[in-house]
Structure 1
Amino acid sequence: MHIEIVVGNIVRQPDVDALVNSANANLRFGSGVAGAIHTAAGPELEQFCCRYSPIALGEAVVTPGFQLPNPYVIHARAASFINDDHPERDLDLAVAQTLRVAKEAGIKTMAMPAIGTGVFKFPPELAAEIILKGLLSRSTEYPDITLVRICVGVEQMRSVFQSMLDSLLET
């Protein structure tokens, strides 16, 4: 599994099979990544999501991409760093479930945001460590997943994730 970190708009990644949505419990249009993905996918996405909601902390589900150039959206629910009891565990579980449902759907490439760092208030360094360790530690279980592109909005966040990835690959 190749992991790359880029500054870019997650809904403008046409070369991947799926976008990962940092979803809320009801899989509804929200702020940040969820809002951008729902807006780009069109109203059919939210209507389709109704059959799956609510989802538990750490759970992930796959839906069609509708008007997106990507065939799929993986909705993964992270915890609120401030309000939930075990946010680190739930973020790691969200990464694990994202990989599991991707494999089940035949998804080989995906673009993922810095899950949890927006409205869920995860400190960027902690989120980077959990997400990247989760991907790297499970990569041998998912040999068909060839690319995870982590899309962030600003260079500072890219630098945090890239530094963590470099550090983890050195050990």
Structure 2
Amino acid sequence: MQRQIGELVIECVQGDITRQDDIDVIVNAANKQLQGGGGVDGAIHRAAGPELVKASKALAPIEAGEAVITEAFDLPNNWVVHCAGPVYSHNAEVPKQLAACYRNALALAEDKQAASIAFPAISAGIYGYPLDKAGAIAVQAVSDHALAALSLQRVRFVLFSEEVYAAFSGALSELS
């Protein structure tokens, strides 16, 4: 599934974010301490090697919605952006924090003059964000950036399961 807004192609694929060798920047759904963990975070740290742990821990802690960038080390990409997604709740700040993850990651990629970036479904795993809401926020944040994009030409959502893919591709198809 893909859409084009201005010069920016936005796409959803089902797959493994650590195997996106045609992407300049991948995004890690990190914890605030940037120590590695389970899910996407653990997979990225295992694939990147021990240097990623050292590099990211030096930038910790970060708060929900914030992002930092490191080299990608043993990954096939140039950079890894580490975003601390919010834990889902009905607090009005939570959707703003999730949108900020995407905005901040896009800004860091633009700072590195990256042509492409790949996102997982931030906060939609153990942090409990409902898939439909997480997908809608993610797609909208990327869409909002599309016309202001400088170097970025491709944004890819790399989604591990069919259920997550369905939610994000649905949000992308409904984008007006």
* TM-score when normalising by structure 2: 0.92
Residue aligning to 2:86? 79
Residue aligning to 1:3? 10
Distance 1:2 1:143 in 2: 13
Residue aligning to 1:128? 135
- How far the C-alpha of 1:143 sits from its partner, in A, is 3.2
- How far the C-alpha of 1:82 sits from its partner, in A, is 3.4
Residue aligning to 2:112? 105
CA RMSD of aligned residues (A): 1.3
CA contact (8 A) 2:110 2:150 kept: no
3-state secondary structure, aligned to 2:82: strand
Determine if the alignment matches structure 1 residue 18 to structure 2 residue 25.
yes
Determine if the alignment matches structure 1 residue 46 to structure 2 residue 53.
yes
Letter in 1 for 2:23: V
Letter in 2 for 1:156: E
Distance 1:94 1:29 in 2: 17
- How far the C-alpha of 1:156 sits from its partner, in A, is 2.2
Residue aligning to 1:57? 64
Letter in 1 for 2:96: R
CA contact (8 A) 2:45 2:52 kept: yes
Letter in 1 for 2:74: Q
Per-residue displacement from partner, 1:110-141 (whole Å, max 9, x unpaired)? 11101110111100000001000000012111
CA contact (8 A) 1:114 1:152 kept: yes
Stretches of structure 2 lacking an aligned partner (at least 5 in a row)? 1-7
Residue aligning to 2:158? 151
CA contact (8 A) 1:23 1:34 kept: yes
* TM-score when normalising by structure 1: 0.94
- How far the C-alpha of 1:36 sits from its partner, in A, is 0.3
Distance 2:129 2:23 in 1: 26
CA separation of 1:83 and 1:50: change in aligned 2, threshold 3 A: farther
Residue aligning to 1:118? 125
- Aligned identity (percent) is 34
